[in-house]
Amino acid sequence: QPLFQLDPTQVEADVQSLRAQYRMARASVARWQSERDNLQRVNFGPELSLDPDPRLALVHEGQQQLFSSRREAFAREQAGLKASIEGAAQQLSGMRRARGDQLAQADSLRQQLSNLRPLAENGYIPRNRLLEYERQLSQIQQDLAQNSGESGRIEQGILESRLKLAQHIDEYQKEVRSQLADARLKSLTLEQQLASASFDLQHSEITAPADGIAVNLGVHTEGAVVRAGETLLEIVPQDARLEVEGRLPVNLVDRVG
């Protein structure tokens, strides 16, 4: 039989607020898990997906938008790094082709110089012609040295960009895992708070533990304020054996009958 009805207004408000926060936290956990697993969309799981509350759809939509925004930003950064690597690789390929042409030209000039030197020494051709071929060979050798240095610089840049690409993925996953751990902790805390508030709400109506007579009533007016642990009344059971709890010295035990 109900004895007291505590005002549930504040507790009901607390339960509603905590339930909303808990759902948001659970949706956030689902989003971070989906990011960690590199899914295309947030997997909210059956607990959240099958909840009929229409307000939850707004929560899902907001989390999906955050998920998509972060994925797109990450993809753009990755695409930028990959494009840089691809551009450098194409430039390096072109320089290697140019180096092959330069090496062929250098070999051709060396061959021509080998044939022309005896002729120039014997006066069959002008020496200026020999000097021109030597100048061309010297220029090509300079171009080869420049090509080699530039190719090395580009190769180093490609290696650094690939390392940066891998580090970007590692840092992204590290952040996701850290955020997921925080979201799980928050969800667990809210779950415990919600359970506590729900317990208070379920026990806002105080019922008699047994049939009997109410005595020593501590509350007499509607709207009275009671303190935690305060005795509201006592029940003297009816149709039940009366039991008395007491304490006495050990040496008097044999005198109790």
At residue 18, does pLDDT exceed 80?
yes
Rounded to an integer, what distance in angstroms lies between the CA atom of residue 133 and that of residue 131? 5
Segment among 41-45, 47-51, 59-63, 150-154 with least mean pLDDT: 47-51
Number of Cβ within 10 Å of residue 157's Cβ equals 15
- How far is Cα 74 from Cα 80, in angstroms, rounded to an integer? 10
CB half-sphere exposure, 144, CA atoms < 13 A: 15
pLDDT value of residue 92: 92
For residue 73, pLDDT over 90 is answered with yes
Q: What is the mean pLDDT of the segment spanning 193-219?
A: 71
pLDDT at site 50: 72
The pTM score is 0.65
Tell me what the mean pLDDT of segment 36-44 comes to. 91
**Domain segments of the chain as ranges:** 8-204
Computed over every residue of the chain, the mean pLDDT equals 83
For residue 242, count other CB atoms closer than 10 A to its CB: 6
Confidence of residue 216 (pLDDT cuts 50, 70, 90): low
Q: Say which amino acid occupies 112.
A: Q
Which of 73-77, 135-139, 218-222 has the lowest average pLDDT? 218-222
142 pLDDT above the threshold of 90? yes
At the top level of CATH, which class does the domain 8-204 belong to? mainly alpha
* Rounded Cα–Cα distance for residues 179 and 173 (Å): 10
Lowest mean pLDDT among 18-27, 117-126, 218-227, 236-245: 218-227
pLDDT at 217 over 70: no
Across residues 98-119, what is the average pLDDT? 90
More confident of the two residues 45 and 28: 28
